[in-house]
Amino acid sequence: MRKLGRIKSLLFVCFANICRSPMAEGLAKKILDNKVKIESAGLIAVIKSTAKEAVEVLQNLYGIDISNHCPRSVSDLDLNRFDLIIGLDSVVSSNLHIGYPHLSDKILLWEIEDPYGKDNKAYRETAEKIQVHIKKYLT
């Protein structure tokens, strides 16, 4: 796994950009303290707001406000501008490799379970796993 080094831009990708990737974006921005441009997206973005549980967990446990996050799709972005793209599960990562084979060397996999539809405990556990990954692999 890569450390930051020469990475200037980073994209977190989950399925719909309403739980894991906005949580990862918020946590990474706080932990990395603006050393890297960090964004998030989903394979699809049909839901128009971030999961309330994700907003609550980041606000209550980490003091991070993602309430204004607007879900968006990777298809709306120029993925070439990112130095590193992190797929937050194997399905997401596989889809990124298939859809953007020319970027395969920039795509990494973090296996973070999707908490969507589960309780706040699942969202807390997801945030904790993301935080551990950020500290282990990106700092």
Token code pair at residue 93:
């990562």
| Residue of 2, 6, 14, 33 with catalytic role | 14
Known catalytic membership, residue 14: yes
Contact between 49 and 125 (Cβ < 8 Å): no
| Residue of 20, 70, 78, 81 with catalytic role | 20
Known catalytic membership, residue 19: no
CB within 8 A of 26, min separation 6: which ones?
58, 62, 64, 65, 66, 69
| Residue of 6, 19, 89, 114 with catalytic role | 114
**Helices 20-32 and 120-138: angle between axes, nearest 10 degrees:** 40
Known catalytic membership, residue 72: no
Q: How far is C-alpha 30 from the chain's CA centre?
A: 13
Catalytic residue set = 14, 20, 114
